Amino acid sequence: MPPRKQTQVNVAPKVIQGDLKNLVPVVRDFIERNAKLCQPEAVHICDGSEEENKRILELMAEQGMIRKLSKYENCWLASTDPRDVARIESKTVIVTQEQRDTIPLPQSGVSQLGRWMSEEGFEKAFSVRFPGCMKGRTMYVIPFSMGPLDSPLSKFGIELTDSPYVVASMRIMTRMGTSVLEALGNGEFVKCLHSVGCPLPLKKPLVNNWPCNPDMTLIAHIPDHREIISFGSGYGGNSLLGKKCFALRIASRIAKEEGWLAEHMLILGITNPEGEKKYFVAAFPSACGKTNLAMMNPTLPGWKVECVGDDIAWMKFDEEGNLRAINPENGFFGVAPGTSEKTNPNAMKTIQKNTIFTNVGETSDGGVYWEGIDEPLEPGVTVLSWKNKEWTTKSGEPCAHPNSRFCTPASQCPIIDSAWEAPGGVPIEGIIFGGRRPEGVPLVYEAFNWQHGVFIGATMRSEATAAAEHKGKILMHDPFAMRPFFGYNFGQYLSHWLSMAHRPAAKLPKIFHVNWFRKDKQGRFLWPGYGENSRVLEWMFKRVQGEGSARLTAIGYVPDDAGLNLKGLEGVDMQALFDVSKEFWEKEVEEIKKYFEEQVNADLPYEMEREVLALEQRIKQL
């Protein structure tokens, strides 16, 4: 890639915290080069301390970016510019020499499996955005670790940003500060550059005191150089570059090269009444109850669920052939609407302190409010919506943005697993895929084998969600729940997953698919969900143990009549929950074939073609 044009300025920014001279040359060069380009007024090297965090929060409060929530301990609320509220897939790109390194070439139209930008196109985009973009602002240097500092599975990054919101949020979401610089030494790190794109003095006033530049937003990943470059958005997924940008897009590419997996998966531990424990990972698209499952309170007596992570898993086979996983994050960045004492009591306990809320409603007594919080307001308490307007249930619009968030430390979760920071990770024995499918897809089924399981992951579909900018409820293909996060060509990604079966001594986890969201003809959910999902986990747990009764169907193994423990649960229509309709699955097979042909095209591994044909044959015999 050609060297980026540097804008020369005579005045070096003053370093207001830390000392550049104490940094190793490669880190110092990274900072100085970008300071020269972006021209901040000052440079602040983050140490990650409590005192620094306090100062950053106070600074944001002074600037009107956040407000203190008096009802809780050290909790804050940010309301963003309404144009900066979610990940923007249309402006998120992977930059490689060849388009096919990033995405399969679709038969026609636009790829749904990522966006490619040429190196030349990126250089042009970079040069119109970054020179002078931090004028009048402070450049914060955030050294961070994805994963526990002492884990061989962890990776380091350094993010340069002009947003104090990013500093405070990255301190929650990653291990951050001086200890990371010490652990990094002369080692490799992912270079992350972020700017809100609002140099001072401002050309136009801010909305909600939230700096952003939506017309110029671009989130670019350069995997060959291990770089992430983000401009114009202050929102979490676009600005907290350790999250999806590093932990999935860049990490999936590193994982392909190094022989491991970086996945959009929760990690949970399940303990049965006899005290035996097993760990599972699960991939769900947004709005499918991922955080709820990761923090579940089981309704089954004697069963226990503990949370290792709610969003991302990095997994690698160890020398004994066990697939071991770490949660590379340090916090939860959860969707607020729909979170309540009923749906996720553990999340509600986690967010009572040290939490940054974004785009939720605010109550007049210093609390938070959102759709589905299920808490009646005290008499006389009023609500301000995320748009800072007086709000009532009659307002005709939501009080919280559908993608509003809480950013909270994982260590505060009452059911955090005792091994959540174990350097060697936890051993994974089951992999769960799932989606929001109102019809046709059973509550749970098990893959015939690893290859069939990879096919199930590749053919996941789900109703669309507010986490990205898509509108309405349309059924979207979301393979492995990674569709917006692939760091390289999806066909090669499938081959990488398939290759795990050929690892010497690999103990391959069983693979399952779940669907909590099947409805009857009246549009009512057939399954109660939430804590009752522990009944499905129990069946999977037993299947992993070599127990648990099942019957064979055209799409996989499902629990037989005695397989699912329904004790104490009334009115569940097992026939409707597990029906495998010939008519529905004939259409599903056609959809899968069309998707593979149009989107994966020449890059589809032949094993996946074989799986489609095999499924088609089995459906014909129904």
Sign of the torsion angle spanned by Cα atoms 185, 191, 193, 194: negative
CB 67 within 8 A of CB 61: yes
10 Å CB burial of residue 508 (0-12, 13-18, 19+) is middle
Chain centroid to Cα 150, Å, comes to 23
Integer Cα distance of 9 and 117 in angstroms: 30
Residue 61: which H helix or E strand, with range? helix 50-63
Which residues on adjacent β-strands are paired with residue 222?
A: 227
Integer Cα distance of 391 and 366 in angstroms: 15
Tokens linked to 476: 């979207």
CB 256 within 8 A of CB 491: no
Tokens linked to 459: 């053919």
Question: Pick the catalytic residue: 46, 75, 212, 288?
Answer: 288
> Which regions of 256-312 does DSSP assign to beta strands (E)?
261-263, 266-271, 277-283, 304-309
The contacts of residue 22 (CB under 8 Å, 6+ apart) are none
| Radius of gyration of the CA atoms of the chain, in A | 24
238 closest CA partner among 468, 487, 483: 468
Integer Cα distance of 23 and 143 in angstroms: 11
Integer Cα distance of 402 and 465 in angstroms: 9
Q: Is 288 a catalytic residue?
A: yes
Name the residue type at position 80: T
Number of Cβ atoms within 10 Å of the Cβ of 362: 24
170 closest CA partner among 241, 263, 75: 241
Catalytic positions, please?
A: 288
